[in-house]
Amino acid sequence: MSETYHRRDILQMGTAAGVGLAAGALGSTPPARKMIRVGFVGCGGRSQDLIPVLLALPGVKILALCDIDEAHLARAQDTVVKAGQPKPEGYSRGETDYRRLCDRSDLDLVINATPWQYHAAIALAAMNAGKDTATEVPAAVTIEECWQLVETSEKTGKRCIILENACYLRESLLIMNLIQKGVLGEPLYAEAGYLHDLRAVKFNTVPIGEPWRLDHTIRRNGNLYPTHAMGPVAWWLDINRGDRLDHLVSMSTKSRSMKEFAVKTFGPSDARSNTTYAQGDVNTTLLYTEMGREIILHFNTSTPQVKEGLLRVQCTKGTFNSHMDEIFVEGRSNRSDSPDWLDHDYAEPTAEYRKQYDPKLWQRMEKQTGVGSHDGIDYMELYRLIKCLQEGREPDIDVYDAASWSAISQLSENSVANRSRPIDVPDFTRGRWKTRPRLDVDAID
Ligand SMILES: NC(=O)c1ccc[n+]([C@@H]2O[C@H](COP(=O)([O-])OP(=O)(O)OC[C@H]3O[C@@H](n4cnc5c(N)ncnc54)[C@H](O)[C@@H]3O)[C@@H](O)[C@H]2O)c1
């Protein structure tokens, strides 16, 4: 019995206490507040996308910033001052100085855009200090950390949101709308991936002594960055809200591309050319859900490739494929006068569906998305988070999503390391996935 199974079983044995505690915590919605006072930890690359969006949103003040690198901290302080807000207090006294920031009494929300290994610790510190928290992806690296997030959120009643911007892709919300309006029928199978050549980023952004991204590629082998793909799919399939992830199997190819890139870039005698990279170049993870659906997640940040935004779903009435920009809806796309039933080339272009089923959020907010990067989804994710907190509503994404989407990384590593053996996905909701209401696409506005 693996450690994962064991821990879940122990926790499920204690469901009476666990559920009671959780229901209490979830029963209280956040208080409505006109102003959300933010502390921001990790002022590196990602902060330069997120801080300008926060500064553009009405009713947000950034009061505190934290980074171990004083130059990064000063740059972020400068950005805030240039936007007309007072200079936020800086925290840069080392790796755990985020604790002092979390302990301030004047913050509502702690946002965290640090390297992966700090995400859970910072989120835990924030919740334990009485703040809601939003963390960059993934929310945690290990299953143990995922459980800690869930237990701490339940215990403190504070929210732990994973900042999964891919959920707000217009394309993804369109698919969600097509499913929820009954056009495509019930989803049976979904496929998505994070396919992005990050070799240069992994080798060049940080000096070789402390390469946080590279370090994961050296030590680990699985789907290390699952949430950009899992988030959208989870929304289509009502994961944790009517269905849940049950088990997965995962397989990685051998590792070739990192070493080849290093030899070509730094020469054969460089240490990076003589390092062993555990992460296989191409990882594929197959998940099965409690309600009998299937999900394929692709992960590859090591090979030469074009960045792909693959989103594909097969439902009982039809299929949508973002790559082909085509949709097939039985009875609507196929011509009844077709001379040859073997001619399966019935797919329709998506233009009409895009007009009719354009998600509300994008119809209303498209003009504002000029602020921020990633084609507007950074704006959308923070707009939604801040709006929900201001209005005293639960944000779109919660700690159960943060835990179950992030857990795929360690679970896939366990499967890869064991000849692709099936691995159970813990039920972080402890059974409440059965009764938690579906996230209504029209309520994401
Ligand atoms: N959602 C997206 O589209 C997206 C895009 C890029 C990055 N990210 C995520 O954002 C996070 C940050 O990535 P990045 O590209 O900004 O990395 P980065 O290395 O550019 O920045 C990280 C920053 O955190 C600081 N830091 C490190 N340890 C710290 C600590 N203990 N306390 C305070 N500050 C600390 C570093 O000095 C640096 O300024 C990662 O989790 C990454 O996966 C998400």
Q: State the pLDDT at residue 333.
A: 82
Q: 12 CB contacts (<8 Å, ≥6 apart)?
A: 427, 430, 431
pLDDT at position 344, please?
55
Q: Domain 167-360+398-443 adopts which CATH fold?
A: Dihydrodipicolinate Reductase; domain 2 (3.30.360)
The Cα–Cα gap between 168 and 85 comes to: 28
CA distance 401 to 178: 22
Residue 340's pLDDT is what? 52
Whole-number Å distance, alpha carbon 211 to ligand 1 midpoint, is 12
Asked if the 9-164 domain carries CATH number 3.40.50.1970, the reply is no
Residue in 160, 146, 239, 145 with CA at minimum distance from that of residue 192: 239
Query: Quick one: pLDDT at residue 30?
Result: 86
Judged by DSSP in three states, 175 sits in helix
**Ligand 1 pocket by C-beta < 6 Å: which residues?**
41-46, 66-69, 72, 95, 98, 113-116, 118, 136-137, 165, 374
Burial class (CB in 10 A: 0-12, 13-18, 19+), 434: exposed
Q: DSSP assignment, residue 418? A: T
For tokens 């555990």, what's the residue? 278
DSSP 305: -
Q: Which two tokens stand for residue 27?
A: 């029963």
pLDDT digits (tens, 9 = 90+) for 428-444: 999 999 999 999 999 99
> Could you tell me the CA-to-CA distances from 28 to 21, 23, 54, 133, 392 in Å, in that order?
12, 9, 26, 16, 10
- The DSSP H or E segment spanning 189 is strand 187-195
- Residue 98 CA, closest ligand 1 atom number: 32
78 CA to middle of ligand 1, Å? 18
DSSP symbol at 312: E
In the chain, domain spans: 9-164, 167-360+398-443
List the chain pLDDT tens, one digit each, 445 residues.
343 434 544 444 333 333 333 333 455 788 999 999 999 999 999 999 999 999 999 999 999 999 999 999 999 999 999 999 999 999 999 999 999 999 999 999 999 999 999 999 999 999 999 999 999 999 999 999 999 999 999 999 999 999 999 999 999 999 999 999 999 999 999 999 999 999 988 997 545 445 789 999 999 999 999 999 999 999 999 999 999 999 999 999 999 999 999 999 999 999 999 999 999 999 999 999 999 999 999 999 999 998 888 999 999 999 999 888 889 898 888 755 555 545 556 678 889 999 999 999 999 998 877 766 778 999 999 999 999 999 999 999 999 999 999 999 999 999 999 999 999 999 999 999 999 999 999 999 9
3-state secondary structure of 348: strand
Of 67, 99, 116, 163, the one to substitute when testing ligand 1's pocket (max ligand atoms within 8 A of C-beta) is: 67
Give the Å distance between the CA of 98 and the centre of ligand 1. Answer: 14
Distance, CA 172 to ligand 1 centroid (Å)?
25
Contact 139, 400 (CB under 8 A): no
Beta-carbon contacts of 401 under 8 Å, excluding residues fewer than 6 positions away, are 162, 164, 231, 234, 239, 240
- 64, 104 Cβ separation under 8 angstroms: yes
Distance of CA 4 to the CA centre of its chain: 21
What is the per-residue pLDDT for 12?
A: 40
Task: Report whether 325 contacts 351 (CB < 8 A).
Answer: no
d(CA 53, CA 165): 13
Specify the ligand 1 atom closest to the Cα of 118. 31
